Chain A
Amino acid sequence: MPAPPAVSIKDLRIALPPGGERPFAVDNVSFDLNPGEIVCVVGESGSGKSMCAHALMGLLPDSVTTESGTISFEGKNLLSLDENGWRDLRGRRIAMVFQEPMTALNPLLRIGDQMMEVFEAHGLLTSRERRRKAIELAREVGLPEPERIVRAYPHQLSGGQRQRAMIAMALALEPAILVADEPTTALDVTTQAQILKLIRDLQRNRNMAVMFITHDFGVVADIADRVVVLRHGQVVEQGRSEQVLGHPEHPYTKALLAAVPSMDPPPRAPLTGRSKAVDVIGIDKTYVTSNGWFQRERRVRAAYDVSFSILQGETVGLVGESGSGKSSVARLVMQLLEADRGTIRLGDIDLTALHGQALRQQRRRIQMIFQDPFASLNPRRKVGQIISDGPIAHGADAKQARARAGELLGMVGLDAGAMERYPHEFSGGQRQRIGIARALALDPQVIVADEAVSALDVSVQAQVLKLLEDLKARLGLSMLFITHDLRVAAQICDRIAVMQRGIIVELKATAALFAAPEHQYTRELLAAVPGQHRPISRSA
C-alpha cells in the first residue's frame, strides 16, 4: 500500500518484573498498522498480544516497563507521551474495544450517556448535539430502535448489543486507529459473526486502521488483511493473511494452524448392535428464583423434554450457545442437579430413583471432566490425593489407590512425580490432564465432559482431544461431550444434539448433521462458524 502507515511499532520491548518465567513480555516486536487495513495479532495465552494492545493505548500496568523501541503515530513517539498527552489522544485518535462488554460498560449509566461522555471528556459539542450524535452512532452500529436504546442500561442489552454499544463509543470521535482486544471471545458464535461483520464494514467505510487481537484462527481467516503471529513475546511470522494462512513458513505457525479443528468431520464407523450406556428420557428442569415474599418468582427453563441415549463406546455431542441449557443437562445426567421430571438410566439402573448411599455407590460408573482447569482442582490437596480420593471413598486400599494414581498419570502423559505436587504448579493443559486422570480413577463406563477443552489454547486443545479419543477407544468408554464449538464437536462426536433454549432441536450423526442440517437454528450455527471462507493450511 503506497500510503504511509498510520502507526509504526519498532523494536518494542517491554520488560516483565524480575523473577517471572521470562524477562520480556514483548521482545523486539515491530509491525505497522495501515489505514484501511485490519491487522490480526494472533498468539496463545501468554504470548504478549494483549500487552502490545495496551502499549498502543498507553494502558500498560505499573509492574512492567518499556525498555526500548518506538511507537510512532502522526509524527510523535507515543512511548514518550505524558499522561495529559495520552488523555488527549485516547478516544479521539486511538480507541479501544475490550473483551468483556459487561465489565467494560458502567452498569449504572444509560448507554447513551456513556456514549455522550466520550464527547464530554474531550470538551466537544453541546449537550443537544451530543445526544443527537449518540443516536446516530447507535444507528450506525446496528442497535435496534436507536432513540429508545440510548436510554437503556447495560444489563437490559444482550451481549452482542453491549459489544455494539462499546464499538459505538470507540467510534464516536472517528479515531484513526481502533484497537480491539479479543472483542468477540465472550460472545456466542452467531453474535460473533455479526460483530466481525460490523467491525469489517465500519473499518471499510471509515478507512480506519484496526489492530485486532485474537487467539482464534477462524476469526483471523474471516477478518484479517495482515497477520502477526506472536509467541513468547516475539514475532515468529507476519505477512498478508492469504500468505500466512495458506503458506505458513515458520514451524510454529504451521503447528498452530494444524491444531485448528476443521469443519469436516472425519469418517466414523457406524455403531450397530450395541446396548445403551445412558438413556435420558424426557427430563425437565426449571430454575425458580424467588426474590422475597412480595415479588413474583423468576423462572428459567433450562431443559424441556430432553431425551437422548448414548450407546456403549459412543460419543454424543451436546452443542448450543450460552444459556441453551447444555451445561444443565450435563449436571442433570451427573445427578448434581435434580430433574423436575424424567428418568436418567445408567445401563439398567434408574439414577433418578436413587438417593444417599445408594446413589454414591453408583456414581463411580459415570464421571465428569470439568471446564475450568483452574477451578476444578482443590488448591490445597496434592495431585496424588486428588486422584486417589475417589477410589479410597469407594473402599480401595490407600496404597493400591496411590499406585493406580501413578499409573493414571502416566496414561494421561504426566510423570508420576506429579503426585507430590500441588495443582498450581501445573499449566492449564496439564491440569486438565489431571482432571481426566481423576475421572478415570474410578474406572467409569461413561464420561461427561463439560466444555473440557474450551479454556485451553488451540495446540493444547488438540492434544487433550486426542488424549480423550485414545482413552475412550482403549477403555471402551461412552462419552457425553458438551461444547459450544462446532469445530471441536465435528472432530470427536459420533452424533450431535443441538440445543436451543432448553430443547434439543436436532439430533443426528455428525456427518449427516454437517452435510444436511434440517433445523433453521442448526443452519445458523453452522453458517456462523468463523474461518470457513478462506482456506487454512493444515499440513504441519
Chain B
Amino acid sequence: MRQFARQMLRNPSGLIGLIIVVMAILVAVVGPLIFPNSPWRMVQRPFLPPFTLSAVPLGTDALGRDVFAGIIHGARVSLLVGLVSTLAALAVGVPLGAIAGYFGGRVDDALMRFTEFFQTIPSFALAIVLVAILQPSIYSIVAAIAIVSWPPVARLVRGEVLSLRTREYVQAAIVTGQTNRWIIWHEILPNALSPVIVLASLMIATAILLESSLSFLGLGDPNLISWGYMVGAGRTVIRQAWWITVFPGLAILLSVLGLNLVGEGLNDALNPRLARQGR
C-alpha cells in the first residue's frame, strides 16, 4: 500500500489531478458553509461583469444572481451525482460481470445479451428519456446516469473474471471445496479490482459531464443549482455576458480533467509493469 502511494505521488500528472480533485471535494464540502447564502438569491444588478465588485467576484447572471456562489454550491451537486451514480453503476455492473464471467455458458449468454441491450441504445438519449419520464429530480438523474453507465463495468469485470477463473489458484480453491460465492468474493474479485478502480475514476468524470448535459437541456433538478444548469441558463446571452457560461464551464473542465488525470495515475500505479514498459 505504501509503495502504491509512492508510485502515485511520483507521477506528476497524477499528483496534479489529485490536487484538483481534493480541492473540488473541499469546495463541495466546506464551500456552502462559508457562503451560506442561497445561490438563487438576487444580490446585485443583472449582467454585472466579473472582477468589478469584490462582493461578487465572478459577476452576476441575467437575474442578478452571484455566479461565484453558484459555482460553489453547484460543486456539491455535480460531485455528488458523479460519485453516487458511479457507485450505483458499480453495484450493478460488478456482480453481473462477475457472475457472467465465472459461470459462463448460458448464464453468460443471457447476461451479456441483457447488457448489450443497454449498450445498443445511445446512452445520452436513454438518459434524457429516463429523466423525462421519471420527472427531473436528483434521484432520477442519478438513476438515469447509473443505468446508462453500468454496461462497460459489467463487460470489463466479465473479461477479467474470464481470465482469472482459469488461474491455478482458483482451481486450487475449487479443489479445496470452497463455494462459488466464496471463490468469486475472495479469490477473483480482489485480483480484478485494479482496472475497475481506474474505470470508476473515469466514470465519475463522465457522470459529471452527463449531469451537466442534462441540466443544460433543462432536465436538471429544479431545486438544486448545478454547473450544467448555469451553463444552460447563460447560453442565450453568451454574446453579451460570456462570464455566466464560461466560469461554470471552467469548473466542469477542471474537475473532469482532474478525475481523468487521477484515473491515469491510478492506472500507472496499479499496473506498474505496464507503466514501466511504456517509458
Contact = CB atoms under 8 A, between A and B. Distances in A.
Interface string B226-246: 000000000000000000000
Contacts of B176: 363-364, 367, 389-390, 393, 438, 441-442
Interface stretch (A32-40, A126-134, A368-376, A494-502): A368-376
A456 to B, nearest CB: 15
Interface string A380-405: 11000000011001100000000000
A435 to B, nearest CB: 8
Given A363-B177, A394-B177, 15 more contacts: A360-B179, A363-B175, A367-B176, A377-B172, A378-B169, A378-B190, A380-B191, A381-B187, A389-B176, A389-B178, A390-B176, A393-B182, A438-B172, A442-B176, A442-B177
Interface in A141-164: none
Nearest to B175: A368
Contacts of A370: 168, 171-172
16 contacts: A360-B177, A363-B174, A368-B172, A370-B168, A370-B172, A371-B168, A375-B169, A376-B172, A380-B190, A389-B173, A389-B176, A389-B178, A390-B176, A393-B176, A393-B177, A393-B178
Contacts of A435: 172
Q: Is the interface of A mostly helix, strand, loop or mixed?
A: loop
Given A378-B191, A393-B182, A361 B171 contact: no
B167 interface: yes
A462 B191 CA distance: 33
Nearest to B189: A380
Given A378-B191, A379-B191, A380-B191, A390 B169 contact: no
B169 A336 contact: no
Interface of A: 334, 336, 360-361, 363-364, 366-368, 370-372, 375-381, 389-390, 393-394, 435, 438, 441-442
Nearest to A378: B169
B10 interface: no
Interface size class of B (residues with CB under 8 A): 10 to 19
Contacts, number: 64
B164 to A, nearest CB: 10
A383 to B, nearest CB: 12
Most buried by A among B171, B177, B179: B177
Contact of A364 (B167, B168, B177, B190): B177
Nearest to B167: A375
B182 to A, nearest CB: 7
- Which DSSP category, helix, strand, loop or mixed, fits chain B's interface? helix
Contacts of A394: 177
B186 interface: yes
Nearest to B174: A336
A497 to B, nearest CB: 22
Contacts of B171: 336, 368, 370
A345 B197 CA distance: 45
Nearest to A387: B176
Given A381-B186, A393-B182, A367 B175 contact: yes
A393 B179 contact: yes
A438 B177 CA distance: 12
Given A371-B168, A376-B169, A336 B175 contact: yes
Nearest to A362: B177
Nearest to B190: A380
A376 B168 contact: yes
A360 B172 CA distance: 13
Contact of B175 (A334, A371, A380): A334
Contacts of B178: 360, 389-390, 393
A366 B177 CA distance: 10
Interface string B177-196: 11100100011001100000
A439 to B, nearest CB: 8
Across the A-B interface, give the 5 residue pairs with the lowest CB-CB distance, nearest first.
A390-B176, A376-B168, A363-B177, A370-B168, A360-B177
A438 B191 CA distance: 20
Contacts of A375: 167-169
Nearest to A331: B171
A438 B171 CA distance: 13
Given A389-B176, A390-B176, A377 B169 contact: yes
Contacts of A393: 176-179, 182
B109 to A, nearest CB: 13
A403 to B, nearest CB: 18
